[in-house]
Amino acid sequence: MLLLLAGGLGAGVVNTMAGGGSLLTVPLLVLAGVPGTVANGSNRVGILTSTVTAAVGFRRLGYSGLSRVLPVLAPVAVGAVIGAVLVEQLTDEAFERAFGFLMVPLLLISLRPPRVSASSTGPTWSGPMAATVFLGIGIYGGAFQAGIGLLLVLALSRSGVDLVLANSIKVVVVLAVTVMALPVFVIGGSVDWGPALVLAAGYAVGGFLGARVTVTGGEKVIRPVLVVAVVGFAGRLIGLY
């Protein structure tokens, strides 16, 4: 319980500031005796609580991503349901293999520094390209969750959004993905509620703290966290943990 609480708190902070916190919490759930696919579903309960508290934190501090994210919510939400349904068809072994395989392109993307502009006020995508990009991110997030925050921050920052605003928008998108995907796992019996709720408690605190650190510290604090997230992906890929 202590490991799950601490892991959830740390993952909540990292997910709010960058992404990739699920790379810590999913293995912790497995360590606690939860099977791989059930750990994937159980982790969504914590993601839900952390994104809610992070969204509240950003809003109280003057950063609300809701108005700027509405155009992308539909493709992301649809993709999340598709991804959750697809991953429910996998065995534990296949899930873990697919999880590792999908970290490769994610790592390559994250190694490229994003473009940011302090004068930007929102994403610049429009039309079919935006729908395609966010449908793909939604499918990935619905299926695997881990790393979706990092993908969203990179995509938003490359559109010219500064990292603080990008994180506030990202939190709302991840919340939408989780709300759409979690019921699929609940109905499929892929949530172990005991460990999930303990983890979620830590996640909730971490999400709120992450929002505060993001706004008060700004990009000079966010960028090192992004680097640590990339290193975390690399360490998992080469089998260090």
Tokens 């940011």 belong to residue: 116
pLDDT at site 156: 74
* Structural Rg of the chain based on CA atoms: 16
pLDDT at site 148: 78
More confident residue, 231 or 112: 231
- For residue range 100-140, list pLDDT tens digits in order: 666 566 556 555 544 544 444 444 555 677 678 778 888 88
Contact yes or no for 48/179 (Cβ under 8 A): yes
DSSP per residue, 162-193: -HHHHHHHHHHHHHHHHHHHHHHHHHTT---H
Report the distance separating Cα 25 and Cα 47, nearest Å.
10
- For residue range 138-156, list pLDDT tens digits in order: 888 778 766 777 778 877 7
pLDDT band (50, 70, 90) for residue 236 = low
Residue ranges of domains in the chain: 2-237
Distances (CA, A) of 14 to 2, 82, 189: 18, 26, 28
